[in-house]
Amino acid sequence: MEKIGVAIIGMGTVGTGVAKILLDHGDRTARHAGKTLWLSHAVVRDLKKDRGFEVPEGVLTDDIEKVIAADDVQVVVQLIGGIEPARTVMLRLLEAGKDVVTANKALLAEHGPELFEKARQLGRSIAFEASVAGGIPIITNISQCLSANQIKSLNGILNGTSNYIITRMDLEGTAYDQAVKEAQALGFAEADPAFDVDGTDAAQKLAILAHLAFGARVHWSDVPKRGIDQLDDLDLKYAKQLGYRIKLIGLSRLTTEGLQAVVGPMLVKAGTPLAEVRANYNAVSVDGDAVGPVFYHGQGAGQMPTASAVVADLIDTAVGRTAITFKTLELWSDESNRIEMAQPGDLTGRFYLRFNVDDVPNVMAQIAGVLGQHNISIASVYQHDNDIQNGVVPVVFVTKETTEADANSAIYEIEKLDCVQSGSERLRILE
Amino acid sequence: MEKIGVAIIGMGTVGTGVAKILLDHGDRTARHAGKTLWLSHAVVRDLKKDRGFEVPEGVLTDDIEKVIAADDVQVVVQLIGGIEPARTVMLRLLEAGKDVVTANKALLAEHGPELFEKARQLGRSIAFEASVAGGIPIITNISQCLSANQIKSLNGILNGTSNYIITRMDLEGTAYDQAVKEAQALGFAEADPAFDVDGTDAAQKLAILAHLAFGARVHWSDVPKRGIDQLDDLDLKYAKQLGYRIKLIGLSRLTTEGLQAVVGPMLVKAGTPLAEVRANYNAVSVDGDAVGPVFYHGQGAGQMPTASAVVADLIDTAVGRTAITFKTLELWSDESNRIEMAQPGDLTGRFYLRFNVDDVPNVMAQIAGVLGQHNISIASVYQHDNDIQNGVVPVVFVTKETTEADANSAIYEIEKLDCVQSGSERLRILE
């Protein structure tokens, strides 16, 4: 049987998972690829570290140059995280004639245009299924399976760390700091989870998906983002009482003004599929003009789910499907910039607004008055005597449909009122 | 731009949807295919029928021979239903050098081996995403996206007609006959829905999925099947009281004894994703050894969802991905028969058993005694005085794990008891 040489750069959690599948299930990958995926090099930093499983003699190396120089390596799984040296290594691999498979979403979100242009010039391919939503094959589904559709919206839970933390807080009443520690102990959060909990990771993934789904050339830093790190338990409680759950959502939607994209904690109607996504799972809901709504749910991270996506990319690259898809997708090429970003302020929707107000007469009338001046109708109000603390009580308004700009102006005015104290909250309701 | 000639045979609901996408969204398909998908022929029975949209001059024909003879037609969307003449037409198209895209699951389930062998011999391909689960791209997901996995189980709601009917019965209390009529009025059921409601359609789809997922050469008629046409409202009610919903499930599972596959109404835990699939939707839950559980949900039928799948296949065929996948999958080839079917009696699981018993002393002890003799433990029992009619009362047992064979023997013995009247029910609980 024909043989195709594979190298892995970076034998952390995911790299080890990929090596396990290649070494333990060679018959399986050979059957799907029509050729043997032969692991020739695995680049590690520390040759002496115990990896808990047997790697054949001569495969492990700490010299990346050996992979770049190896004529018998056709595909490289590039699993170095962060931007540099990951970027330089990927460019050198492409120049050396290798096809690349990667899970590094930060690198693609930051340097996608440069890397994809280089690959096209050199007639090479970059596959990146594992970079978004782990085991959910959302990249292939958008770029291939749903290609007959104009996608109208794509909403997802794209950060497993945040979803684990928020699920613990919501269902078990665990405090934020404690939930972060649990996530770290279970391997669902890194030692420094800043990029997970502040929305950066989800924004990078949403930017990649929005590019694929809408042809929009979105830089992740242009996606307004907020994480779960500033959420108040109180709002989880009120949301539940109103029939919602709070989830960290990446929202993208095609409007007549262009593409809307935003990442943040949002209220999702309890009982709907996205609201019920638990623990470290991810989910993506796509609405296409022909297919209608399609929903995907699976593990968003972890060794073997991510390795599953990497090896599927390896097989696709080995059989030639990646080369075809990569060429027709024209990723981040000048041709692909078909949709402009809309003004974030134009994004319509309903909002959950919480203000901490003095427990004195006429407060409700003043706030409702400001909302009315900004043409914002109120769908429901929630206030409870039990919640009074030191003469201050939280009052929650659920609005009818308005724009982000109107909501922001109204909140600005309301926060200036004498009777309104600090610490208000504003969350979008996902429709 | 390069042009690829496409013909559609059969301009019913789905064919019309495919034509709409090709004619109205040629820019979209061209972008994804890297070439123009040019609709050259659409074969209809009645040239004079009003189709509600404009087909360009010269495209409509009632002569299938024109398509077979046309040198400029490279791909044919073959949408003739049933076995003949669909089979003969497909063989002739392949012999004439055309690649084929089809939604005819009955034909593939019956004659897959012959058709796929013929296509391989002639170097042609058959794409069939639309044949199972409509808009959910489950065929591509199993055969490509999850190819790094040994799939351990695949369970799905594969018949939208049945799911619509059972949802109406369950949530609205609609009677079976009335729900069938509503499904017909909405276009979710055909004039004669026999193959939908008796489980045939789901068994054919499960056989195709089991072949792809497990490499098992399952003939659909070897899949034990039951439909929803004999369900009693009473069991929907009791299941709900026990915290379950009844759904028509296609279950397939790899065991040490081989592949288990069965279609029938089963109890699914309320709140789990499959239990909450409503109306005409389909869903598939796949468990892979690397990726873990992945869940797909979307419209299982209807004009545009099915057309979405057909056009994705057209694009895949036009760009060359189908040719690659078709070759490596070795569908229904002698090489692909790697997994044997297990004995249905060995399938383990828990059961919902309902017996109609005389309201006299010692009945419970007799039934429980027979269950005990067959090593079947009881997890819970349900009986309510309100349900007594003419001295007969339904009593429901939920068993602990047992085998199908033991459950069948026990039921046989129990039904022989003098105190047990006719009309008992036995439903599997999906784990």
d(CA A396, CA B426): 50
Is residue B215 one of the residues assigned to a domain?
yes
Which chain B residue shows the shortest CA-CA distance from A326? B32
Burial of B188 (0-12, 13-18, 19+ CB in 10 A): buried
My answer on whether A156 and A285 are in the same domain is yes
A21 and A129 housed in the same domain: yes
Confirm whether B144 is domain-assigned: no
DSSP A357-400: EESSTTHHHHHHHHHHHTTPPEEEEEE-GGG-BTTEEEEEEEE-
Q: CB-CB: which of B32, B295, B327 is closest to A328?
A: B32
Does A106 share its domain with A167? no
Mean pLDDT of B172-184: 95
Query: In angstroms, what separates the C-alpha of B107 from chain A's closest C-alpha?
Result: 23
Would A139 be classed as within a structural domain? Answer: no
Active centre residues of A (catalytic): 205
My answer on whether A155 and A263 are in the same domain is: yes
B226: pLDDT strictly greater than 70: yes
Chain-centroid distance of CA A405 in Å reads 25
List all residues of chain B from 349 to 408 with a beta carbon under 8 Å from chain A: none
Same domain, A245 and A373: no
The pTM of the whole model exceeds 0.90: yes
Q: How far is CA A240 from the centre of its chain?
A: 24
Average predicted confidence (pLDDT) for chain B: 94
Residues B294 and B310 in one domain: no
Full DSSP string of A187-246? TSS-SS-HHHHTSHHHHHHHHHHHHHHH-B---GGGS-B--STT--HHHHHHHHHTTEEE
Which amino acid is residue B280, in one-letter code?
N
End-of-domain residue from the set B316, B335, B354: B335
- Contact between A55 and A23 under an 8 Å Cβ cutoff? The reply is yes
Question: Tokens 């909002």 map to which residue?
Answer: A351
Q: What is the pLDDT of residue B321?
A: 95
Closest CB to B147: pick one of A32, A150, A293.
Answer: A32
**Residue B11 and residue B80 in contact, taking contact as beta carbons nearer than 8 Å:** no
Kindly state whether residues B262 and B189 are assigned to the same domain. Answer: yes
Residue B141 counted as domain residue: no
For every residue of B63-124, DSSP letters joined together read -HHHHHH-TT--EEEE---SSTTHHHHHHHHHHTT-EEEE--HHHHHHHHHHHHHHHHHHT-
- Domain stop point among A235, A270, A299: A299
Mean pLDDT of B129-158: 96
Model confidence over A168-221: pLDDT tens digits? 999 999 999 999 999 999 888 888 999 999 999 999 999 999 999 998 888 999
Amino acid at A347: L
| Chain A positions in Cβ-Cβ contact with residue B30 (cut-off 8 Å) | none
Q: What is the CATH classification number for the domain harbouring A251?
A: 3.30.360.10
Assess A282–B contact: CB distance below 8 Å, yes or no. Answer: no
Interface test with A, best of B147, B286, B289 (most A CBs within 10 A): B147
CA distance A128 to A140: 9
ipTM: 0.95
Cβ distance B148 to A29 less than 8 Å, yes or no, reads: yes
B299 in contact with A, Cβ within 8 Å: yes
Give the distance, in angstroms, between the CA of residue B408 and the centroid of all CA atoms in the same chain: 26
Residue B140 maps to a domain: no
Instruction: Find chain A residues with C-beta within 8 A of B311's C-beta.
Output: 147-148, 290
Interchain contact A273–B (C-beta under 8 A): yes
Question: Do B287 and B230 sit in the same domain of this protein?
Answer: yes
Q: For residue B94, what are the β-bridge partners? A: none
CA distance B257 to B271: 31
B214 in a domain, yes or no? Answer: yes
Question: Under an 8 A CB cutoff, do A136 and B305 touch?
Answer: no
* pLDDT at position B197 over 80: yes
Query: Could you give the residue numbers annotated as active site of B?
Result: 205
According to the model, what pLDDT value does residue B51 have? 80
List CB contacts of A208: < 8 A, sequence separation 6 or more.
A105, A108, A109, A112, A128, A131, A132, A139
Residue ranges making up the domain that contains A359:
344-429
Q: Is residue A96 part of a domain?
A: yes
- Measured in angstroms, the CA of A120 and the nearest CA of chain B are apart by 15
Domain count, chain B: 3
Tens place of pLDDT for every residue, chain A, 431 residues? 899 999 999 999 999 999 999 999 999 999 999 999 999 999 999 998 888 888 898 999 999 999 999 999 999 999 999 999 999 999 999 999 999 999 999 999 999 999 999 999 999 999 999 999 989 999 999 999 999 999 999 999 999 999 999 999 999 999 999 999 999 998 888 889 999 999 999 999 999 999 999 988 889 999 999 999 999 999 999 999 999 999 999 999 999 989 999 999 999 999 889 999 999 999 999 999 999 999 999 999 889 999 999 999 999 999 999 999 998 887 877 665 578 889 989 999 999 999 999 998 889 999 999 999 999 999 999 988 888 999 999 999 999 999 999 999 999 999 999 999 999 999 999 98
pLDDT tens profile A293-303: 999 999 998 89
B8 by DSSP, 3-state: which? Answer: strand
Residues 5-64, chain A, touching B (beta carbon < 8 A): 17, 21, 25, 28-29, 31-34
Confidence check: pLDDT of B12 > 70: yes
| Mutation target among B132, B212, B314, B328 for the A interface, most CBs of A within 10 A | B328
Terminal Cα distance for chain A, rounded: 52
Instruction: Let me know whether B319 and B419 are in one domain.
Output: no
pLDDT score of B202 more than 80: yes
CATH of the domain at A330: 3.40.50.720
If asked whether residues B167 and B283 sit together in one domain, one would say yes
Going by C-alpha positions, the residue among B340, B344, B342 that lies closest to residue B408 is B344
Does residue A279 share a domain with residue A223?
yes
Establish if B340 belongs to a structural domain.
no
Give the CATH number of the domain where residue A413 resides: 3.30.70.260
| Residue range A109-144, pLDDT digits in tens | 999 999 999 999 999 999 999 999 989 999 999 999
Q: pLDDT by residue (tens digit) across B268-314?
A: 999 889 999 999 999 999 999 999 999 999 999 889 999 999 999 99
Same domain, A130 and A155: no
